[in-house]
Structures are given as structure tokens and as C-alpha cells.
Amino acid sequence: MHIVPIELKEANAFVLSTVGADGFPRSRYLLARGADERGFSFFTNYGSAKGDEMATHPQVAMLFTWLQLHRQVRITATV
């Protein structure tokens, strides 16, 4: 067997899902700013629809996709 190293690109684009005032999920792509022992961070406008949704319903879901590895990572959290 011959192993060929690949350069693995960091998955910084992710899908953020929030809950709207009507109780239905809302999903959109965002760019992750970073992650540390406190959790994940990303840029957003607090006055946007997603900012309002996170303030009203702080439960969110994040989905990162690593196409090269054929893997997905799902995260649920309270903001």
C-alpha cells in the first residue's frame, strides 16, 4: 500500500441553524472566526434576523462539512 499525504483544508464555512419567531428552523452559511475552550465564534450582525432569533431562542445548531474526508460534524449549543 502506498500512502499519499493530502493537504487538509480547514473547514471554516458552516451552516448555522436558528429558530424563528414562528417556531420554524432557519439555516444559513457563515464563516467561523475561531474556536477555543469557551466554544465557537463567528461574525454576525446582532441586529440581523439571526441575531434576533438567537436572542429569542438561544438554542442553535452548527454543521461543518469536510468534503475531503467525506465527514460532517454536527454541533448543538446554547448561545
- Assigned C-alpha cell, 54: 438567537
How sure is the predictor about 11, in pLDDT bands with cuts at 50, 70 and 90?
A: confident
pTM to 2 decimals?
A: 0.82
Asked if pLDDT for residue 22 goes beyond 80, the answer is yes
Instruction: Tell me phi and psi for residue 41, to 5 degrees.
Output: -130, 150
**pLDDT at site 66:** 86
DSSP-assigned letter for residue 56: H
How sure is the predictor about 70, in pLDDT bands with cuts at 50, 70 and 90?
A: confident
Residues forming beta bridges with residue 14, ordered by sequence position: 30, 64
Which residue type does 61 have? A
Asked if pLDDT for residue 61 goes beyond 70, the answer is yes
Instruction: Tell me phi and psi for residue 22, to 5 degrees.
Output: -85, 0
Asked if pLDDT for residue 38 goes beyond 80, the answer is yes
* Cα–Cα distance for residue pair 24/30, rounded to 1 Å: 19
**Could you give all domains of the chain from N- to C-terminal order, each with its CATH number?**
13-78 (2.30.110.10)
Residues 7-23: what's their mean pLDDT?
A: 87
